[in-house]
């Protein structure tokens, strides 16, 4: 079993005829993800990705004709908020927004609209999600995965790849790997994904990859202490980052004592989570916890 994406996912790709959209759609198709439609206004009636995917002018028409139930967005930042809202208004219940560089102020009204409609957004500025052997949505390389029972949730795309590869090399498979994105305003939090993994009977252990900035990891630690009884390991990036300086993601900025790697590490350890000193240390911590 997995969370969010599986063999029943019927994916629609917004921006499929662009360079990034077509490149990653081809990779998703090769992995086995059912992409049933693409959307690019003005290109309806064409076919993308070597003629394998029909293209529609609107999400509404694509959903009506193909039964798409999830969307992956590769639309430039100025147009991505409208693309998210179009997907939600057309009945898509699960949206992945890969686009980076969307201003936080543009995402605030989108966030509230989605919450009012009970639509789940992963991202923006995220790598997507993969349920190994079943489906992948987004830009995570399919080759690094191994089917298994460890769920992973991360704010960082590149650290997701590094930790998944380390787990696979160690013979530890994954149930689903989810990148939630590192922007200040994102659609789905650590807590929401942790809760999904907690309820998934085929996820036996969980890995959390966090970074400096904000308080999401501290909130996640409090949730773990209250609710999670499955073994967990974690890694927090940015231990050497100077206070007050933005590092990488738009959300990765330290203010005073809040948001530091050490504060996050302490909160997770108090919640019973084993915290790694490096991404490559994660497999050993999972073994120590009896997982994998």
Active-site residue numbers? 249
Question: What's the rounded Cα separation, in Å, for the pair 285 and 274?
Answer: 7
Question: What's the rounded Cα separation, in Å, for the pair 71 and 85?
Answer: 11
Distance of CA 202 to the CA centre of its chain: 19
Question: What's the rounded Cα separation, in Å, for the pair 207 and 4?
Answer: 17
Other Cβ atoms within 10 Å of 45 Cβ, number = 8
Judge whether 263 and 257 are in contact, CB under 8 Å: yes
Judge whether 161 and 142 are in contact, CB under 8 Å: no
Other Cβ atoms within 10 Å of 270 Cβ, number = 12
Question: What's the rounded Cα separation, in Å, for the pair 237 and 233?
Answer: 14
């Amino acid at each position: 079993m997995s969370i969010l994406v599986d063999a029943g996912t019927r994916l629609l790709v917004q921006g499929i005829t662009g360079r990034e959209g077509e490149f990653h759609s081809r990779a998703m198709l090769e992995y086995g993800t059912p992409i049933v439609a693409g959307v690019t206004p003005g290109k309806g009636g064409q076919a993308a990705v070597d003629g394998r995917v029909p293209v529609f002018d609107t999400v509404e028409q694509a959903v009506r004709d193909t039964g798409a139930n999830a969307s992956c967005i590769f639309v430039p930042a100025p147009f991505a908020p409208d693309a998210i809202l179009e997907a939600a208004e057309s009945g898509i219940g699960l949206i992945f927004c890969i686009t980076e560089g969307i201003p936080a102020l543009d995402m605030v009204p989108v966030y509230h609209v989605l919450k009012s409609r009970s639509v789940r957004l992963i991202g923006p500025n995220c790598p997507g999600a993969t349920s190994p052997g079943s489906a992948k949505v987004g830009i995570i390389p399919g080759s690094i995965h191994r089917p298994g029972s460890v769920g992973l949730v991360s704010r960082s795309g590149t650290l997701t790849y590094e930790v998944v590869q380390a787990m696979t090399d160690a013979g530890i498979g994954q149930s689903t790997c989810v990148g939630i994105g590192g922007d200040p305003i994102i659609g789905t939090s650590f807590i929401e994904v942790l809760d999904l993994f907690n309820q998934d009977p085929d996820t036996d252990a969980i890995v959390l990859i966090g970074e400096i900035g904000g308080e999401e990891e501290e909130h996640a630690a409090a949730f773990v202490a209250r609710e999670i009884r499955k073994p967990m390991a974690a890694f927090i990036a940015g231990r050497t980052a100077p206070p007050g300086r933005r590092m990488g993601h738009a959300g990765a900025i330290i203010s005073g004592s809040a948001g530091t790697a050490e504060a996050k590490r302490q909160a997770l350890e108090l919640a019973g989570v084993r915290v790694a000193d490096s991404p490559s240390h994660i497999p050993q911590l999972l073994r120590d916890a009896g997982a994998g």
